[in-house]
Amino acid sequence: MPTLTAATAAQAAPQAAPSVHRRALITWLAVYPTITAAFLLLGPSTAHLPLALRTLVMTAIVVPAAVYVLVPALLKADHKATAALNSARAGAE
């Protein structure tokens, strides 16, 4: 039976979900730049629209981009960074 080192055990164990605070930060990191880019790109062409309609257009673009593309990519990057950090810590022990 193979023995597990601390590093392989950390890799084999299921990763716990990030804390609510880390998820909030990741979501903000996805949403803020996306909203800024959307306003820069679409702001002039939607300036004539009423505020509610302008907000509808922006959120129709930003929310799917953040939910389906950006947040999952950032969560994956966070998982890899956390795993690498935990592996480095386990190797230092």
In angstroms, the CA 6 to CA 2 distance is 13
Find all residues with CB under 8 Å of 54, minimum gap 6, and list them: 46, 47
Cβ contact 8:60 at 8 Å: no
- Inform me whether the pLDDT recorded for 6 exceeds 90: no
Dihedral sign computed on CA atoms, order 41, 46, 50, 55? negative
- Res 9: pLDDT: 54
- Res 63: pLDDT: 96
In angstroms, the CA 61 to CA 68 distance is 11
Which comes out higher in pLDDT, residue 88 or 3? 88
pLDDT tens digit string along 43-75?
999 999 999 999 999 999 999 999 999 999 999
Cβ contact 20:80 at 8 Å: no
Whole-structure pTM value: 0.73
